[in-house]
Amino acid sequence: ETGVTQTPRHLVMGMTNKKSLKCEQHLGHNAMYWYKQSAKKPLELMFVYSLEERVENNSVPSRFSPECPNSSHLFLHLHTLQPEDSALYLCASSQGAGAQLNYGYTFGSGTRLTVV
């Protein structure tokens, strides 16, 4: 158990479906992140929440909608996705940011998403 739990582990959805990815951390961290991992590409930062407020949205298409109801939970709502959105979606959390990031991030195991 890494301290950051993501569900589901695997998800197959059609292009017209609506689904949500869930991330939960019990580490007392105050920042949470969504990353997209595609094969042989750098991890793409999608969203950053610090103290439950979104601080960055990296030009992510509106078919991805994040929600952070409290400091322990982060969701990624998905609707009308495209096949190129198939990837591993990783959630991470950290205590502090910027110069305080000496301990880096704690990652979840990811959700493997396949859009058909």
Partner 1 sequence: GEDVEQSLFLSVREGDSSVINCTYTDSSSTYLYWYKQEPGAGLQLLTYIFSNMDMKQDQRLTVLLNKKDKHLSLRIADTQTGDSAIYFCAESNDYKLSFGAGTTVTVRA
98 contacts partner 1 (rule: CB under 8 A): yes
Joined together, the tokens standing for residue 7 give 């569900």
12 contacts partner 1 (rule: CB under 8 A): no
Rounded Cα gap, residues 11 and 115, in angstroms: 8
Question: 114 and 38 in contact (C-beta within 8 Å)?
Answer: no
Find the binding residues for partner 1 in span 17-36 (CB under 8 A): 31, 33, 35
Q: Which x/- pattern, by CB under 8 A, does the window 64-93 give for partner 1? A: --------------------------x-x-
54 contacts partner 1 (rule: CB under 8 A): no
40 contacts partner 1 (rule: CB under 8 A): yes
Sequence-separated (6 or more) residues with CB below 8 Å from residue 111: 6, 7, 8, 9, 10, 11, 21, 88, 89
**Cβ closest to partner 1, residue 18 vs residue 54:** 54
Residue numbers of the site for partner 1 (CB under 8 A)? 2, 4, 6, 31, 33, 35, 40-43, 45, 48, 50, 55-56, 90, 92, 97-99, 101-110
